Amino acid sequence: MHQKWQHWFWLVALAAGILFSTTLIKAHTVNAADEVTDHYLLVYFKSPSYTPNDQKVYFAVSDDGLHYQELNHGQPAIKSENVLRDPFIVRQADNQGFYILASSVGTKVFPTPYSMFVYHSSDLLNWTDQRVAVTDTDTTRIWAPEAVYDAAINGYKMYWTQPTDTKFIVQTANTNDFQTYSVPQTYVAGDTSRLDTTLIKNGDHYLRFTKNEATSQVYEERVADLTTSEGKAITSPLLNNLTGVEGPIAYQLYGQNKWILLLDHYNAGGYEPVMTTDIDHGNFQKLATDQYRLPADARHGSVLTITKSEYDRLINHYGID
């Protein structure tokens, strides 16, 4: 009798344990990691004349990656007295939040431009900010900062545009928390200024887009991994004949062999998209104006793929016209 009672006790305990564990697993897995990221968040600043009131962080969302609607009725999504440009948003590798990195040109509170702003949120709605500096005597400014998670270092590779005495170059450093950094190294440089680098992964390699300031063009390269500085040039007929652009943003449309490259026409109204089904060879094509919708005067920013629930949360919180 005692042995039978023990037998049933352990069966009941095992069943309860399985049920409890299953409940925990379900509770843990109901998050963005288990949803498809088939919606899009565009983060940008706007100003055709670079007036201080427009140098803030704005949000727009899309359900197809081509037609965007401004959030918060065209007002800044993040309330801040800081002067902000070139916002770049990245999802945390552990899926527990988001960072926005932004250039700063100095404020009354922080008059020095030798740093950047890092915003953090766990839900895309509530943001905290901190001004940080990459502590290196040669790092005099951090413009257009971006970051990509690198599993090889279990951290983020950050890269940004920086002026030297004679030209602009792109620097890079590693970080785990966007507060402390490795010693910066030169990432992209040339005989003339290079700036506004962005990266996107395709299979086992990356595509890198950078602005050549001398020609006012954005060019494409293939790089083997995130530690490789040297890139293999990709000849793109459209990009080779397109001038007056900067601030490239590259992303793939969910479930499609289509890639979007947004280019900031800084003297002609802001972002316009080009598309390709062959990003490795740079065969981009322009889109007709009725094939896309972007916020007026949107300037250098970034696109994050988000889930439907994140998309709905943003609209419910900020409102949409």
pLDDT at 131: 74
Q: How far apart are CA 217 and CA 245, in angstroms?
A: 6
Q: Give CB contacts under 8 A, 24+ apart, made by 277-282.
A: 279/200, 279/202, 279/207, 279/250, 280/202, 280/207, 280/222, 280/234, 281/234, 281/236, 282/220, 282/234, 282/235, 282/236, 282/237, 282/238, 282/239
pTM confidence score: 0.86
Q: Are 202 and 215 spatial neighbours (Cβ–Cβ below 8 Å)? A: no
pLDDT at 240: 95
pLDDT at 50: 63
pLDDT tens by residue, 144-185: 999 999 999 999 999 999 888 899 999 999 999 998 889 899
Tokens of 11: 């069966």
Domain coordinates in residue numbering, the chain: 1-30, 37-318
Q: Are 156 and 147 spatial neighbours (Cβ–Cβ below 8 Å)? A: yes
Backbone φ/ψ region at 95: left (φ over 0), alpha (ψ -120 to 50), beta = left
CATH 3.90.1150.10 is right for the domain spanning 37-318: no
Q: Are 82 and 101 spatial neighbours (Cβ–Cβ below 8 Å)? A: no
pLDDT at 26: 32
CA distances from 286 to 88, 96, 266, 292, 296 (A): 24, 37, 17, 11, 18
pLDDT at 33: 54
Tokens of 184: 């910066």
pLDDT tens by residue, 12-59: 343 444 333 333 333 323 355 579 999 999 999 987 666 666 889 999
pLDDT at 282: 96
Q: Are 241 and 293 spatial neighbours (Cβ–Cβ below 8 Å)? A: no
pLDDT at 47: 76
Q: Are 304 and 276 spatial neighbours (Cβ–Cβ below 8 Å)? A: no
Give the residue ranges of the chain where pLDDT is below 50.
1-30, 107-111, 113-114
